[in-house]
Chains A and B, each alone.
Chain A
Amino acid sequence: MRDYLRTHAGEARLFVVLAALTLYLGFASPTFLSAGNLASLLNNNAVNVIWAVGLLVVLIAGGIDISFAVGASVAQYLTALALHAVGGGNWLCGLLFAGAFGIAIGCINAALIAGFRVISIVITIATFNALFGLLMFTTSGKSIYDLPDWWTDRIAVASLGAGGALTLPVAGMVAAMAATWFLISRTTTGRQIYAFGDNPEGARRAGVATVKIQFIAYGWLGLMAGIGGLMQVNLAQEVVPNALIGRELDVLAAVVLGGARLGGGRGSVFGCFLGVTLVAVVQNGLNLLGVSPYAFKMLIGLTILAAISLSNFDMGALLAGGSRRHGHVGNH
């Protein structure tokens, strides 16, 4: 336990903040801890967590990906078309399609980044523009409402009590978290991802297949983007080509808030979950306390600014000359 606190100080601090916030909201608002509210919090943020753990793997590997939300939109749209072509399909079919399209998009990013040694932020901004432009151009921005019933039916997987049914996206979230945790903490590949993110050249000399690692990292995020997109349709009941744009930056902020380091080599699934949850709880709490919805974003931005300032302040960055900042977006 003490070891965990020492190695995961960021997560521990975030957890304390979240616990304090939960306690306060529990007293301040009678509905906050109700089964209905907690269930809707989880249901509505499950997709963000799925994307967050995918992005986490890329961040650990020292990269960054701006294009995954657009990738999820493309995967959603292609999946809807493919399901239409095969005459409806089922969940297995949908998972296969969405996963495959997502992985394909991730592999395009990986191929460009690893193949031409371009820094990941440049490539993913380019693929963001290319994919979004092509998606909007070829679909003319048309939404798809005619979807198979199995896809849009709400499926309750568990209950938190009266009126608090957890739906399928939450199950997807748990599965994604478990699988990502297993990948990065319990496999050799996972250790290699950390090693590569921390020191690409060192990892290469130690015999890590660096190209393979990048394909795995971006492919994993692609898979999560595809599955998240699939789950998001289950919530929204429709496929809108530009609905997910902009979510990538919110997810990125939450993941980094959760202790993942831009520049690679650090981050955990639990931290990811805490980061997304903190942002969600702040928004939910403001709502319950009767704050004007127009002020939400402002206060969330302030929360993140305060959190990053405080967390870096504690690290003694002031004394160390701010040198922690200079790991940066990845240098491969």
Chain B
Amino acid sequence: MTTLNPVNITKPLHIIRPLHLTRQTFRAGLRSLSVIAASAVVATGAAVAASGVPPEPIPPLAESWPTFSGDYSGMRYSSLTQVTQANVKNLTLAWATRLAGGSDSGGDGVFSAAGPPQIVGGATSEPVVTGGLFSSAAPISVRGSILEHHGVLYAASPDNAWAIDARTGTVLWHYYWKTKGGTHTSNRGMGIYGDWLLFETADDYLVSLDARTGKERWHKDIASFPEQYFAEAAPIVIENHVLVGAGNDGDEPGSLKSYDPTNGELQWEFHTTPMKAGDPGASSWPSIEAARHGGGNVWTAGSFDPNTRLYIFGTGNPTPAYSSIAREGDNLFTCSLVAVNVDTGKMVWYYQTSPHDTHDWDSSQTPILVDGEFHGKPRKLVLQATRNGHFFVLDRVTGEHLLTTRYTPWGKWVQRINEQGQPVRDPRWDVTVGGTVLDIDGWTNWPPPAFSPQTGLFYLRGFENYGVMYYTETDPHGSMGLGGVTRGGEVALGSSIRAIDYQTGHTVWEHHFEPGQGYLGTLGSGLLTTAGGLLFAADQGKNLVAFDAEHGQPLWHSRLQDVSNGPETYLIDDHQYVMVAAGDMIYAFTLY
């Protein structure tokens, strides 16, 4: 058993915690020669099954991938060194798996193998089919992180979740959620607490599954469906907290909520806009009514600093997005980096990266926590490249601003950078009735960036799409949601990977890609960097590419389909795997 499935013996065994009888800890118990530990497993097993298994601490990214960014730092930097600049050319396909979704995920056993066990849940008996770009009937596409935990992968797309053998790609079970609707943008992945999985659904539920069987444990409402919230973020599990948020394309306000992973009870809620007179930030809105419809939704995951207990996340754009006449002021805490204490949900600091945004450029991008020298002094930093085309460095303990640079060529909307380091918009590039040429999607989006401590470089996938946006709401009473519209045409100039020196904010190298085809193809996917001196990224669509992280030359590539999520890496049986999703396919590469 141990020969087939060697366990990393450097991983500490937490015998003071109630242990559970997973294969991993059982073997770890045997391997660590502790008869006491092994008997503790047996003795506490039953009680644990009823009360929940405390999660193992999440270490810096290496063998496994137990949370959205691999670890809490958001760096997506793996210390695995098996795959290097020298040998990456030998990286080979280990397996490829196609995921089947919906209610018909099984094979028929005749023309194809019988499918995996299917578990069906949902808050409605008949699933609702929604239309448009983000239809609930869209083909399966994994556009979020895949967890790797004890040799099993956990992947999700809207309304679907799968467990997959990380060694072979065999699907172990499939869970299907019958949706009552909601905007099915994507699912950014799951969280795990012991053996319990957690993920969000587009119709605003947090669902908990037993990771071993896919059986549902419970589901809880996390946002109001009639208010038109939709949920997609990867829940972040931090000890006994599950942090979730939801999106909204109307103008309902954002919040970050913490739930108990054992039973789904709400622990705290942090509103990202003022909810009543006198709340922090209230003076940055013309009225509480405006603030309560001010957006700032929390639709992506943040990062966590265990030492300060701070969960640091980015907030969405203010609403109405383009017609800002009824929301004069900075509109706190929209388009901001916000640090809350994970135990209390109280805000410790904030920094607004886009005061009074008028372009639908949220600041939802993953913040990266770095301990490093900054201008000669060791500091605890947070780095963020936001959709408005600016790169920020802050002290993550205090929120003190340290650096702002613009990393894009299209900066005419910026009047100046103010004393606080914030870009101040030039109202001449606000959207008008006659139409305004705009960098319409912003420079980045959900695809996560990466940071390598080896190179000191922050890696960002950027793209350049322009369109003409029209202001549609001249009546401030009636402004809702966007308040602007396009006639459908956009021009894509291509995309790029930028490597930004965090000390200066300057781009050290840039690799340009011609425009991809299709909307989602142009946004790119996420990044991964490793201690092997590599940066993994998709190009304009179909190729997974390994770049020299320091200089940006491509060293290896494999042509797949349209890559849809950020590449990941993990180590099993002393083999480093590099894994990526392309729509309904998952590919795992390794060295033999």
A, B from the same assembly: no
Residues in chain B within 8 A of chain A (CB atoms): none
